Amino acid sequence: MEKRLLLDLSPEELAKELAARGQPSYRAEQIWDWVWRKLCLDFSAMTNLPLALREELSQRFFLDPFEVLARESDEEGTEKVLLALPDGASVEAVLIREEDRRTVCISTQVGCPVGCAFCATGQMGFVRNLSAGEIAAQVLYFARLLKAQGEHVTHVVVMGMGEPFLNYEATLKALNNLNDARGFGLGARRITVSTIGVVPGILRFAQEGRQYNLAISLHAPDDQLRGELVPLAARWPISQVLAAAEAYIAATARRVTFEYVLLRGVNDGLKHARALASLLRGKLAHVNLIPFNPAPGLPFERPDDGQIELFRRELLAQGIDVTVRRSKGVKIQAGCGQLRSRVLRGRCSSDEKSFEL
């Protein structure tokens, strides 16, 4: 019998599995506690379970889907891992330490079908969706690491490899499992899902009745430029994306973050700032500017600091709430997909290191 990843199950599915084997309902709660709260990776250590059940679980399930292929960290404590899955696929996850925050950035797909022109993952193409357990396990990986240091994960951002709303069910199941108070218990408002604007996904997300944060990557104020930078997004014109964002705001009363990567000479002019402002004026919205950091093989440059500040001020002057994502300047390539590209190319050189989150 092929073993299954236990993290793929919801609490209800786990209870059903155990009930089908004649186990009392509290066994599911005990196992959930071991896996999601105590972060246990070994069935034999679950000492409040009967030995026979522990053995049966270990024959039917596994708890850790990853082998660590590569790991990098910097002096600020940011850590990036490349994690191999049992079928040989691999994904990246990142831990960002900032003051009292411990944020884990996770992937939802192996590769990505969106093909953003400025993203290393986008250049790889799409391999497969991750399962709910494979998504959540990235958070648990860093949770174990932090636990050993007396710390814990405070935030999760779904901004790694892949488009979460093109793997909707698995992503939501993973987040709901992480949010479940009986186990990991990470507050919904500490979880952010970032989409390139998959309209059906945004509309569905609005109806979930959850308090997760939504970020939408716009990256351009008009459909033509957006289509060049974010090819798959051309399927959903900006007008539809904004209408879906309004529906999300109406359903949740929550602010939406619009992400905008700043590319020198491409989308960083004042005319772009004014056009962006006119799209968002009056909405419960916030703009997060992300100055691009150059990476090997990507034909873009970062605007200089003066231009970034001009862009920011223009948005502010137009009444738009705006922040600039801090450049951490760490000496690892933590931009999405870059570690994986480098390792798979077999050249882990230290001289191409720069990154921004």
Binding site for ligand SF4 (CB under 6 A): 112, 114-116, 119, 121-122, 161-163, 196, 336
Contact 194, 173 (CB under 8 A): no
Catalytic residue of the set 72, 92, 163, 314 = 92
95 vs 166, which CB is nearer to ligand SF4? 166
CA distance 178 to 9: 12
Shortest spacing between CB 339 and ligand SF4, in angstroms? 13
Among residues 90, 68, 74, 78, which one has the least CA distance to residue 344?
90
Which residues make Cβ contacts (< 8 Å) with residue 294, sequence separation at least 6?
300, 301, 302, 354
Among residues 225, 232, 235, 341, which one has the least CA distance to residue 276?
225
Shortest spacing between CB 115 and ligand SF4, in angstroms? 6
Among residues 300, 299, 298, 293, which one has the least CA distance to residue 331?
293
161 vs 178, which CB is nearer to ligand SF4? 161
46 vs 116, which CB is nearer to ligand SF4? 116
36 vs 355, which CB is nearer to ligand SF4? 355
Shortest spacing between CB 121 and ligand SF4, in angstroms? 4
CA distance 327 to 337: 18
Told to judge if 92 belongs to the known catalytic residues of this protein, a careful annotator would answer: yes
121 vs 176, which CB is nearer to ligand SF4? 121
Shortest spacing between CB 165 and ligand SF4, in angstroms? 10
Catalytic residue of the set 105, 163, 336, 356 = 336
Shortest spacing between CB 3 and ligand SF4, in angstroms? 30
Q: Closest residue to ligand SF4, Cβ-based?
A: 122
Told to judge if 56 belongs to the known catalytic residues of this protein, a careful annotator would answer: no
7 vs 116, which CB is nearer to ligand SF4? 116
Residue keyed to tokens 């409040």: 48
Shortest spacing between CB 119 and ligand SF4, in angstroms? 3
Measure the CA dihedral 271/276/118/263, to 10°: 30
By annotation, the residues acting in catalysis are 92, 336
